[in-house]
Structure 1
């Protein structure tokens, strides 16, 4: 496993699915974890689980669509643990699966507030702090939808392409300042979000995947931990598909 010993890391959307698995994996790799999540009970449960297994973690209720919440989350990491070295900007929503002309304007705005503005707010405040520390590493959650197009998902595809693009540009902004910025592009993964989107049958997406199965949150978490670690010290600006081969089709 990659080594994050002595690092302080932040995870948004850390209460369930990929965020939960990654917070736990980062803690197992030695990092101290600050978890942000809209659902307080789920976020607190993950922090408590990490502490019960000998790690260090705390939780703060965070809605990434609110810049003041994100700023406060970064400030919590610094006040509680003295610094911020790592960030996994994972919080996101999926929106509606309908043709573009049927998309609801208010729902579209809410989707962009979380998936695009939320990632921007996170990177802005994280990078400000990391520059004070002399460096850091950031991973954003994009998607195979941030690398390909899929019918019925125009706005979600747009939002994840935005994450991919922000990742590339930010990586160039800070390449000589000690901050690496990457993203993961998960394919279908067994999470509550996919279960909701498939009417409770996430494995129905298995036929879409060349490997013939959907992924597990821990498989995405392992990729994130590697990207955050010094083992990926020469990797920046990359969106890594973790998708069972979907993007190769």
Structure 2
């Protein structure tokens, strides 16, 4: 991921198979270099931002185009608990995940009135490994009033 054409094709294929795009769950993440900002290679920085942030933006963009035509849809962007807190390393990962939460909230404010709901989830690696955020009610009609929210699923990590 990280290639706009590939993301567009992914959305087009989903619509071709299912006729609509009711729910999109964008989940992209690599750790990248475990470096402080001054020690980060430029190539490493560009790569992690491209995968962890740009690819979600591209899928969001093309998914929104379809959902706006339909007049409805729900998008869930998967982030990380490190998108809510700082940590010395990995700087690129943390930066991308913070940006993803802000992108989710910005899109929620911009598209809620048009029937598109946006949510974000920040998973701890143990929660992700256990499949804690599997089938989400966040995309159901019962959650129609929830948009722009960020749900940390982290087993108490943030309470330390």
TM-score of the superposition, structure 1-length normalised? 0.62
Partner of 2:151: 240
Which residue in 2 is equivalent to 1:219?
A: 132
Shift of 1:217: 3.5
Query: Per-residue CA shift, 1:188-209, capped at 9, x if unaligned?
Result: 22xxxxxxxxxxxxxxxxxxxx
**Contact 1:146–1:161 under 8 Å retained in 2:** yes
- C-alpha deviation, 1:215, in angstroms: 5.8
Superposition map of 1:189-204 within 5 A: 189=126
* Deviating more after overlay: 124-133 vs 232-241: 232-241
Ranges of 4+ aligned residues in structure 1 off by more than 2 Å: 214-217
Cα RMSD after superposing both structures: 1.3
Residue by residue over 1:126-147, the C-alpha shift from the partner in whole angstroms, topping out at 9 and shown as x without a partner, is 0000011111000011111100
Structure 2: state its 5+ residue gaps: none
Unaligned runs of at least 5 residues, structure 1:
1-63, 190-213
Distance 1:129 1:93 in 2: 27
Residue 111 of structure 2, aligned match among 170, 174, 188? 174
TM-score, normalised on structure 2? 0.94
1:158 to 51, 76, 95: 95
What's the CA shift string for 1:132-180, capped at 9, x where partnerless?
1111000011111100001222211100000000000000001111101
Choose 1 or 2 for highest CA Rg.
1
How many equivalent residue pairs?
160
